[in-house]
């Protein structure tokens, strides 16, 4: 699958303060990219613009999949997104959470709910509500839901936040096994463990 996200002079401001200005960059997939910058530099804002969740102040973003232009209001159909700031429904059990996700977008390789729970290695917690999960367990669920989703564009915002070393290795294996055919964009404050597989980068602080 051919994937192109083209940014042309993208700028974003809140009130009178410019977060970044005049970013022009083309993402071509399948491939993996990292957006680097310190906390507060605008990485998450840029990722939200790419996802279609925010509107830029200036510039244009275009999307093309297999030669077909995609309207901005339809981009969500092609995107999966994981971020420490995205909230899960804490009253749902793990099984209910996975089934809820599947009702909107299918999982790769027609993975079943039980297969995903096995991948998560959370069989003992499958009937617990997410409010009983630790912060690290919740982050693991967010990553699995996004990476295993059968969507061609994967956006990851600081994916190793709240993960211990063993779970970081789990994340890296998940990336290796399930993202070869995706356009992956990772936001990172220079933690190489979370973007080691990325071949190209943007430093957002170049556009302040």
Asked whether 116 and 174 are in contact (CB, 8 A), the reply is: no
Instruction: Quote the CA–CA distance of 124 and 204 in Å, as a whole number.
Output: 41
Task: Map the chain to HEC letters.
Answer: CCEEEEEEEEEEEECCEEEEEEEEEEEEECEEEEEECCCCCCHHHHHHHHHCCCCCCEEEEEEEECCEEECHHHHHHHEEEECCCCCCCCCCEHHHHHHHHHCCCCEHHHCCHHHHHHHHCCHHHCCCEHHHCCHHHHHHHHHHHHHCECCCEEEEECCCCCCCHHHHHHHHHHHHHHCCCCEEEEEECCCHHHHCCCCEEEEHHHHC
Residue 52 CA to chain centroid, in angstroms?
12
* pLDDT tens across the length of the chain (208 residues): 899 999 999 999 998 899 999 999 999 999 999 999 888 889 999 999 999 999 999 999 999 999 999 999 999 999 999 998 889 999 999 999 999 999 999 999 999 999 999 999 999 999 999 999 999 999 999 999 999 999 999 999 999 998 999 999 999 999 999 999 999 999 998 889 999 999 999 999 888 8
Asked whether 99 and 48 are in contact (CB, 8 A), the reply is: no
- The domain ranges of the chain are 3-207
Residue among 73, 86, 5 nearest 44 (CA) = 86
Determine the pLDDT at residue 16. 86
Determine the pLDDT at residue 1. 81
Residue 12 neighbours by CB distance under 10 Å: 22
* Residues across the chain: 208
Determine the pLDDT at residue 85. 87
What predicted TM-score, i.e. pTM, was given to this entire model? 0.95
Determine the pLDDT at residue 193. 94
Instruction: Quote the CA–CA distance of 195 and 144 in Å, as a whole number.
Output: 16
| CATH topology for the 3-207 domain | Rossmann fold (3.40.50)
Residue among 29, 69, 39 nearest 155 (CA) = 29
Asked whether 35 and 91 are in contact (CB, 8 A), the reply is: no
């Amino acid at each position: 699958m051919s994937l192109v996200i083209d940014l042309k002079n993208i700028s974003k401001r809140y009130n009178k303060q410019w977060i970044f200005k005049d970013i022009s960059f083309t993402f071509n997939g399948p491939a993996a990219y990292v957006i680097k910058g310190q906390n507060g530099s605008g990485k998450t804002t840029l990722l939200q613009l790419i996802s279609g969740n925010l509107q830029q102040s200036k510039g244009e973003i275009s999307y093309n999949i297999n030669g077909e232009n995609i309207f901005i209001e339809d981009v969500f159909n092609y995107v999966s997104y994981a971020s420490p700031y995205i909230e899960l429904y804490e009253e749902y059990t793990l099984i209910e959470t996975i089934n809820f996700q599947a009702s909107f977008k299918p999982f790769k390789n027609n993975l079943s709910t039980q297969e995903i729970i096995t991948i998560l290695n959370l069989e003992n917690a499958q009937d617990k509500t997410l409010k009983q999960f630790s912060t690290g367990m919740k982050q693991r669920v967010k990553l699995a839901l996004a990476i295993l989703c059968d969507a061609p564009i994967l956006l990851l915002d600081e994916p190793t936040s709240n993960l211990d070393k063993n779970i970081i290795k789990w994340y890296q294996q998940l990336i290796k096994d399930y993202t070869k055919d995706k356009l992956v964009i990772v936001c990172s404050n220079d933690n190489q463990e979370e973007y080691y597989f990325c071949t190209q980068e943007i430093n957002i602080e170049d556009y302040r």
